[in-house]
Chains A and B, each alone.
Chain A
Amino acid sequence: EPEVTQTPSHQVTQMGQEVILRCVPISNHLYFYWYRQILGQKVEFLVSFYNNEISEKSEIFDDQFSVERPDGSNFTLKIRSTKLEDSAMYFCATTTGQGQETQYFGPGTRLLVL
């Protein structure tokens, strides 16, 4: 069964450093999402992306964050200057983009900012 994959599985970084989280969507999926889950809290929506542009974003998704699909396969989330409070599990999710369908989630990247 096709899967969404994410790399790295874990990342530790120093405050102020840039990090890039990568997601490989299921091959025929065109609509992509990033969510995050701070330890002990609920899963929160960050941003959705379709047709090479942001479709929707939450108030969490400020100027420190950016998304792109650099090579037609990977879908990336960049945090320009990490803060302690960015420590969380980051999930990528994808759908075909044809309507309200199941969002398929990747295994997540656990980011720890020191």
Chain B
Amino acid sequence: AQSVTQLDSQVPVFEEAPVELRCNYSSSVSVYLFWYVQYPNQGLQLLLKYLSGSTLVKGINGFEAEFNKSQTSFHLRKPSVHINDTAEYFCAVSPQGSGNTPLVFGKGTRLSVIA
């Protein structure tokens, strides 16, 4: 079974400052890793995903994440945040090679960008 821990429930940050949202996972098998974003009153939108290959993954809206297998982490970063990045961010995993398996989510991190 897999589990995901998002250590920070809330992260306030000033506009144009950098941000890192932390995600650690636990799994006995190799996993695919995902970050989703949920804007107010909207569904979950995929930001980026790691399936294989380069451990640095670039996503939409200037976000990137780095897969670190030894630390079982997949932290999300953005060098300069904007007001409209204010949202809930979810890290998720699923086991590799099992096609169409359900996602296991973390509890989410609420990013609040302050003008």
Interface size on B, residues (CB 8 A): 27
Given contacts A44-B105, A100-B94, A107-B41, A55 and B46 within 8 Å (CB-CB): no
Given contacts A42-B105, A42-B107, A42-B108, A4 and B100 within 8 Å (CB-CB): no
Number of A-B contacts (CB under 8 A): 62
Which one of A70-78, A80-88, A91-99 contacts B? A91-99
Is A103 in contact with chain B by the CB < 8 A criterion? yes
Interface size on A, residues (CB 8 A): 29
What separation, in Å, do the CA atoms of A25 and B107 have in the docked complex?
25
Tell me if A's interface is mostly helix, strand, loop or mixed: strand
Contacts of B101 in A (CB 8 A): 56, 100
9 CB < 8 A contacts A-B: A6-B43, A42-B105, A91-B43, A93-B44, A100-B51, A101-B100, A105-B43, A105-B44, A107-B41
